[in-house]
Amino acid sequence: MNDAAGRLRGLWPPRTLFVRLSLIFFAGLIAAQTLSFWLTMTERNESMTHVMVGYIGQEVTSSVALLDRLTPAERVEWLPKLARRSYRFVLGPGTSGMPPDATLSRQIGASIAKDVGARYNVTANAVPGEREHLEVHMTLSDGSPLTIDMHPMHGVPLSPWLPLVLVAQLALLGGCAWLAVRLATRPLERLAQAADTLGPDLAPAALPEDGPEEVARASKAFNAMQARIGIYMRERLQILAAVSHDLQTPITRMRLRADLLDDEAERARLQKDLKEMELLVREGVAYARTLHGADEKPCRIDPDALIESIVSDYADAGDRVSLTGHVGEPVTTRPQALRRILGNLIDNALKYSGGDEVTVEMSAEMSAEMSAEMSIDAARARHVSIAVLDRGPGIPQSQLDAVFQPFYRVETSRNRETGGTGLGLAIAKQLAQSMGATLTLRNRESGGLEARLTL
């Protein structure tokens, strides 16, 4: 029961604007159709009741006038001929009782008394029972008692084709409402897709500037906005790349001059500073290149062979890096970008885990985070998950997202050997976004950090 309630809470309220508007339109149409049908049937019942009461009064008046002129023997023969579906004539005093309290019975009794006239001494009373039962008593000219035994009929019978027409009408209105909602939400869907494609490669896809005036204006504004963003970002990245590239020349000259110094201690300190500057410049150029976009074309590769070669390189260098699991099927991705991402993640794990074991896991299972964020159609697709696990101190929960920002370092010292440049995870994040992958970090319950790349 708890699982079912949880699933229902997950489905309500609806997450998409299309479903919400559709439900509003359909609920409004059903309510409007129900109210319209109720008003129509109410007016029809009132009108038919008024006509029926007047018709009964006129028919009873004619029948009473006929019976009043017949002999007692002839009256018996005419009683079956004068009977109707809702009432019949009985020669006798009938059953006594209380005055009718039902609305329809009172209306019929009053109509008969009015049309027949006062000279027949008309009275009416209700007969106890489950159904509404009325008897109207009168006295003919020769003193013979006459009773009209009546079962008033409520409601108006429906035609057999009327429900079908109502259902067809509701289906037609529902289809029109669905089409209207679809046409109204489709531009928003295109806008969301265009916003998603505006990634780190800064290669926006222009929206078609057609359709209704409001949609065309929104498309033009979005195209102009993403064009301006692209220009601003390219200018900033060009400045970053140019500065980082141009710094390499003076750094090289300073390195040559440092080699000529006689003071060994001063030469060592200067060379250390130049090495840190060179590392920062190199990482800055790499980060700028990742933001400029990936020129590498996706291709079909064997992920098992690629990752085994990366792990083997670290193992040959004496690092404690192991590999578990396998994918078992080829994937389409950018191999150089994937190699750079895994290299940055493994380097980061080795740096902060103090030389402890680093494990790389591979599987074709989709992570819970991805399944919670993706649609049903996307969730049916297979996703390759690669996790880099270490036994380091981890990252504070409040900084798990901040570490992806450029030049952000959890280690607050100015030492590049312990804190790095703060660009490794930023480069990995940008490369993952450019290749349509997802990179997430989380602290492991057993200690350490898990960096998971989902292709």
Q: Compare 440 and 354 and report the one with higher pLDDT.
A: 440
| 143 and 246 inside one domain | no
| 237 and 302 inside one domain | no
pLDDT tens digits, 144-174: 898 888 888 766 666 777 778 878 887 888 8
Q: How does residue 422 score in pLDDT terms, banded at 50, 70 and 90? A: low
The pLDDT, as a whole number, for residue 100 is 85
- Please say if the pLDDT value at position 316 is more than 50: yes
| 415 and 279 inside one domain | no
Contact criterion met (CB below 8 Å) for 350 and 396: no
| 342 and 437 inside one domain | yes
Q: Compare 434 and 303 and report the one with higher pLDDT.
A: 303
Q: Could you tell me the sign of the dihedral formed by the alpha carbons of 343, 347, 350, 352, in that order?
A: negative
For the chain, what is the radius of gyration of the CA atoms?
44
Percent of the chain with pLDDT over 90: 0
| 52 and 81 inside one domain | yes
Domain that holds residue 275: 198-293
| 331 and 277 inside one domain | no
Q: How does residue 416 score in pLDDT terms, banded at 50, 70 and 90? A: very low
DSSP state of 5: H
Helix then strand count (H, E) for the chain reads 14, 11
- Is the pTM higher than 0.85? The answer reads no
| 182 and 203 inside one domain | no
Domain boundary (174, 191, 208) is at 191
Contacts of 14 (CB under 8 A, 6+ apart): 20, 23
Highest mean pLDDT among 1-15, 72-86, 160-174, 221-235 belongs to 72-86
Q: How does residue 362 score in pLDDT terms, banded at 50, 70 and 90? A: low
Q: How does residue 413 score in pLDDT terms, banded at 50, 70 and 90? A: very low
Cα separation, 250 vs 243, whole angstroms: 11
- Please say if the pLDDT value at position 12 is more than 80: no
| 32 and 47 inside one domain | yes
Domain boundary (160, 191, 222) is at 191
- Please say if the pLDDT value at position 356 is more than 60: no
Q: Are strands 358-363 and 321-325 parallel, antiparallel or unpaired?
A: parallel
- Please say if the pLDDT value at position 444 is more than 80: yes
- Please say if the pLDDT value at position 237 is more than 80: no
Please state the domain count of the chain: 3
Domain boundary (250, 275, 293) is at 293
Q: Average pLDDT of 245-270?
A: 79
| 285 and 301 inside one domain | no
pLDDT tens digits, 45-62: 777 777 778 788 888 888
- Please say if the pLDDT value at position 434 is more than 50: yes
Cα separation, 283 vs 273, whole angstroms: 16
Q: Average pLDDT of 70-77?
A: 87
Q: Name the strand (E) or helix (H) holding 134.
A: strand 134-139
The pLDDT, as a whole number, for residue 249 is 79
pLDDT tens digits, 368-393: 444 444 444 444 456 788 888 888 78
What is the identity of the amino acid at 421? T
| 288 and 301 inside one domain | no
Q: Average pLDDT of 296-323?
A: 84
CATH assignment at residue 233: 1.10.287.130
The pLDDT, as a whole number, for residue 385 is 85
CATH assignment at residue 368: 3.30.565.10
The pLDDT, as a whole number, for residue 276 is 77
- Please say if the pLDDT value at position 104 is more than 50: yes
The pLDDT, as a whole number, for residue 15 is 66
| 134 and 242 inside one domain | no
CA 69 from centroid of its chain's CA atoms: 79
Q: Average pLDDT of 301-322?
A: 85
| 68 and 161 inside one domain | yes
Q: What is the mean pLDDT of the chain?
A: 77
